[in-house]
Chains A and B, each alone.
Chain A
Amino acid sequence: EIVLTQSPDFQSVTPKEKVTITCRASQSIGSSLHWYQQKPDQSPKLLIKYASQSFSGVPSRFSGSGSGTDFTLTINSLEAEDAATYYCHQSSSLLGTFGQGTKLEIK
């Protein structure tokens, strides 16, 4: 099973700040890495697919990069509405896995 490890687990940030969340895979997964946002009591929403492709309707302040084992989700100029938990997910193997999540708190 491919293990995804996100860092940090929790981050408290101020509006307009730039945020970087990383996701490291236990083995190379090419670019088969996707990012989701989940707000409390809501279903997750797709932000970025295949490491760097923005999903339709996602604000341009969200971007992704990386390949192989190391990936990054960047949020430029954070807004209050970005308070959520962010998950990475790999689809390289037939058995999908998620990272443990990164909770963003807005100060």
Chain B
Amino acid sequence: QVQLVQSGAEVKKPGASVKVSCKASGYTFTSYGISWVRQAPGQGLEWMGWISAYNGNTNYAQKLQGRVTMTTDTSTSTAYMELRSLRSDDTAVYYCARTSWSAVAEFDYWGQGTLVTVSS
């Protein structure tokens, strides 16, 4: 069965960086892509970006350009999302979700979420 297992909760100070991992199993990792979605406390879903595990192509949300980097390690079927220069409004649950290898499409399986708290 398809599973996406994310790394544990993080607490960071403003200005720091965080790197969240998403380990995939139950399917051929390089046949799909991974999108990252975040949800601030009590708020809706926000699409952050996408990476193809097939060829490494990426697309990022405009508001996060320059602060976010998404990568994959095909040897371990793991996707990573790094967010730099953290601010208090980056406090959110971060989700990875499986999607198409070629472009953003539907998100058919989701990770359990990783809470990132940014606080001084």
Interface stretch (choices B24-32, B66-74, B107-115):
B107-115
Q: What residues on B are CB-neighbors of A101 within 8 Å? A: 44-45
**A68 CB-CB contact with B under 8 Å:** no
Contact across chains for B104 and A96 when beta carbons are under 8 A apart:
yes
Q: What residues on B are CB-neighbors of A46 within 8 Å? A: 106-109
Known: A94-B104, A95-B62, A96-B50. A43 touches B44 (CB 8 A): no
The residue on B at minimum CB distance from A98 is B45
Contact code string B92-106 (vs A, CB < 8 Å = 1, else 0)? 000101010001111
Query: In the complex, A89 Cα to B48 Cα: how many Å?
Result: 13
Q: How far is the CB of B107 from chain A (nearest CB, A)?
A: 6
Q: What residues on B are CB-neighbors of A55 within 8 Å? A: 106, 108
Main secondary structure on chain A at its contact with chain B? loop
Known: A98-B44, A100-B44. A91 touches B106 (CB 8 A): yes
A-B CB pair tally, cutoff 8 Å: 63
The residue on A at minimum CB distance from B4 is A43
Q: What residues on A are CB-neighbors of B117 within 8 Å? A: none
Contact code string A44-67 (vs B, CB < 8 Å = 1, else 0)? 111001100001000000000000
Query: In the complex, A97 Cα to B107 Cα: how many Å?
Result: 12
Query: In the complex, A96 Cα to B95 Cα: how many Å?
Result: 15
Contact across chains for A43 and B95 when beta carbons are under 8 A apart:
yes
Q: What residues on A are CB-neighbors of B108 within 8 Å? A: 46, 49, 55
The residue on B at minimum CB distance from A53 is B106
The residue on A at minimum CB distance from B60 is A95
Q: What residues on A are CB-neighbors of B104 within 8 Å? A: 91, 94-96
What are 17 A-B residue pairs whose CB atoms fall within 8 Å in the complex?
A32-B105, A43-B110, A44-B45, A44-B97, A46-B106, A46-B109, A49-B106, A50-B106, A89-B45, A89-B107, A91-B103, A91-B104, A91-B105, A96-B35, A97-B47, A98-B45, A99-B44
